[in-house]
Structure 1
Amino acid sequence: MPTTKSKFSWLTNKLLKSSNLAYSWIKIRVGGGTSVRFWYDNWSPFGKLLDVISPGRTNTMGIPLSATLADIYSDGAWNIRPARSDIQIQVQSFMTTLTLTDTDDSYY
């Protein structure tokens, strides 16, 4: 959660405090995947993957924290290590339903 500060207005601090609630309403429609951050954006039915797959396990998937979907997709396939947990299996199963396109990613 972003940090509130006394120098910020009351409204800004209120918005920062409710950012987790707002996050669940902001979803990304995946197009080319160039602006969709794998770990941080709300692009899958699992929400923010960093919250679902513990940070200690991110390296077991071989996906850098700064990676976008386009970074781990090439020639029509996802370039990730085999799953090592049930949640990783679920995420990878969902990913098999996605195909990156030439269209822009968009928020809805």
Structure 2
Amino acid sequence: MNTQFKLIFTTCKNEAEARMLGKALVEKKLAACVNILPAMSSIYMWEGEVKEMTEVKMLVKTKTEKMNDVFLTIKAMHSYEVPEIQVIDITTGNLAYFNWMDEVLH
């Protein structure tokens, strides 16, 4: 299988923001599915200081051809100045699931 499918990770400040962003991505047919994981603690460096806050993680399932539009949507709608956007190539998995993604993201 080629890498026509992507898994994009991002974090949001809370579940409400993640739901708003996730719904927009699915409604625009930029993502076949978005999973929102429960609150987690994040520790990171920002502007020279160690910060700690609660965030939620989003897993965005999409196709390679839609990836840049996903990036633009996240950046436009996100409350963070520098939102996390990390991409993993999906190289194998359930063919029936990928067929469903193809159908949804036509």
TM-score normalized by the length of structure 1 = 0.29
TM-score normalized by the length of structure 2 = 0.30
Decide which structure has the larger Cα Rg and report it.
Answer: 1
Which structure is higher in strand share? 2
